[in-house]
Chain A
């Protein structure tokens, strides 16, 4: 059952006819108990979306349904949401206990029950020892725990987290990320996490919604987002080092082979899988991740090119090929060293070549990769031969 449903949500901050939309035609269906990450660069409308779900912002147009009930005008306190902001927003003069108990007391919950619930939630969030402390003296990580505990104590139907980790240092972030993941596994409360950190979303969420300029770019599992980006924006945003995106012109030949001609005139062979999707002389954007390119010999190659920059980073080596102003980078484990000007032969992983429309940026021809992903196979073994994502090895 879908617990939280957003139907064609629009949001404008000012009334003018040509005022920009902060959120535009956003539709999401979020299953009960799932963990959803809303991911995007700053100003993409992700926090606005969260605030609309929380009831802190009015919805300009569209419907918001929680548990099958339309909630557009239900006041925030009656929606059953728990919110934890990036800033802690705790009441500094009160103790941790009073902070957590605050909203229960406001609702006139009997004292015994307040005590029992606060202690239970404090145990879950590991802040039992801090209950008598004043909030002002806590560390960042402790404050964020109390913050989440306060959001959880009212037994929310939906837990909303707005960049809860971005103010913390690396170490604390790591620990709290683990706690959040564990917490969600325990209480299975529908959770929405807003973040700009792709790695945080990939590691925590069951589903990720990628947004840009108020528009939903893709909604899917982390694997779908990573392996099957729906458009250029998602392809470019997810992954580090980023996907190589090359502007190409297609050249189909009579004998059934096809080439992409790049801006600098060099040619790259089109994988068979994509041949039916391209038109002769059509212009596309081709995407390939640095880890999906491999060095090969003269006999069977897709691309012959010249090394511009070679870097040896210990575990792995990167080879960058210059195409006009930009680099196309590949990552390899091979020990062989190269220098500028060496000619190399590159084979692309045909399953993992992405093709995008040059105008709209939309993906053309979904990959053959999809089918394989469905089977929950997890090959273990040496990192070098690695897992089901194949080329993503160390």
Chain B
């Protein structure tokens, strides 16, 4: 348990820069998530904190003490690896006990026994302690790997995509187990994932990483509702957010939004209009999540005609890509809606639920949720 500070971390592999100028702080007992697509540099950051590979620039401090160039076995960090990395020739019991049998963390056998039993009951591994890792299921291996890391009191608990290799059902269940265990862990945790649901569910704060740089650090609500860039907006949600080019036009002294997709102008919520007005832009990018897209199978007032182009089932929902004259739009429908390919569908857009971005810099301007929050506070 420690406060962890990362300052201006940079790591280069040959000519490519894997991580550039990363800084963040982990509060004591915080669950901090590094979230980003594959190859964003998340694992590189994690490894540097663990002491596997030193940074080229920058500093890593545990409780204010610099950890650069200190061997990983002396940092007292615990890590859960993506592929579990259990010791295959040892039983689950011995795996969990292993750290307490090293010189650095040696404990008497009674203590080891007590601790292993405690962790095993916490992770529901009691019946499996005598088995070898090859004799248990993936989910159990994953829990054993967690147990091996949890058994001692590390400065920081590092998890590198611990759920990535589980199937969808097990992953969901394990995510909830982890969440349920958070209180019991009482440890500063750094968690790496590319799954947005894991990031939002588990993280006290989330750092979104893209191409070795941090795009945004914030709580789940902040990164979801007020994404700093269009990239961040695209990373969250089952169905990728629709980013539409909108034109702002003054009609009857109020600012209205025209979507080329539907060729009609929409009224904007007051606060949104004010902020957009102040930004002085004529063109904006509007991010519409699928919940801001309504659909109908019959023509209705204000709806745009389109055809179903693809259907991608995602859990209990289906993501439809609809082709309209103005471009393609994604939305989610229940899995029991089984439209035919090329079937006609009608769409309407709820622009008040949109997130507005600068069309050049792709950076966040305003959204309705922010307004709601502010008005609530007043």
Contacts and interface: CB of A to CB of B under 8 A. Distances in A.
B334 A384 contact: no
Interface residues of A, number: 49
Nearest to B225: A314
Interface string B26-49: 000000000000000000000000
B341 A182 contact: yes
Interface in B172-201: 172-173, 175-176, 179-180, 183, 196-197, 200-201
Given A200-B313, A388-B336, A240 B200 contact: no
Interface in B296-317: 296-298, 300, 309-317
B200 A312 contact: yes
Contact of B316 (A181, A185, A240, A311): A240
Contact of A174 (B180, B291, B312, B338): B312
B336 A313 contact: no
B377 interface: no
A240 B335 CA distance: 10
Contacts, number: 132
Contacts of A393: 334
A257 interface: no
B148 interface: no
Contact of A181 (B298, B312, B314, B341): B341
Interface in A342-394: 378, 380-384, 386-389, 392-394
A199 interface: yes
Given A174-B310, A178-B309, A226-B335, A380 B346 contact: yes
A105 B336 CA distance: 44
Interface SS of chain B: helix, strand, loop or mixed?
mixed
A393 B318 CA distance: 11
| Contact residues on B (Cβ < 8 Å of other chain), bracket | 35 or more
A320 B152 CA distance: 29
A123 B180 CA distance: 55
B363 interface: no
Contact of B310 (A175, A226, A312): A175
A19 B277 CA distance: 77
Contacts of B295: 380-381, 383
B150 interface: no
Nearest to B309: A178
A309 B180 contact: yes
Interface string B204-246: 0000000000000000110011000000000011100000000
Given A239-B335, A325-B124, A383-B333, 14 more contacts: A227-B336, A241-B316, A309-B179, A314-B236, A315-B238, A320-B180, A322-B180, A329-B172, A378-B337, A380-B296, A380-B346, A384-B291, A389-B334, A393-B334
28 contacts: A174-B310, A178-B341, A181-B311, A182-B341, A202-B313, A203-B338, A222-B336, A223-B336, A226-B336, A239-B316, A241-B169, A289-B316, A311-B200, A311-B201, A313-B201, A314-B200, A315-B237, A320-B176, A340-B180, A378-B337, A380-B294, A383-B290, A383-B293, A386-B334, A387-B334, A392-B316, A392-B335, A394-B291
Interface of A: 174-175, 177-178, 181-182, 185, 199-200, 202-203, 222-223, 226-227, 239-242, 289-291, 308-309, 311-315, 318, 320, 322, 325, 327, 329, 340, 378, 380-384, 386-389, 392-394
**Across the A-B interface, the 8 shortest Cβ-Cβ residue pairs:** A380-B296, A199-B313, A392-B334, A311-B201, A240-B315, A314-B224, A389-B336, A382-B294
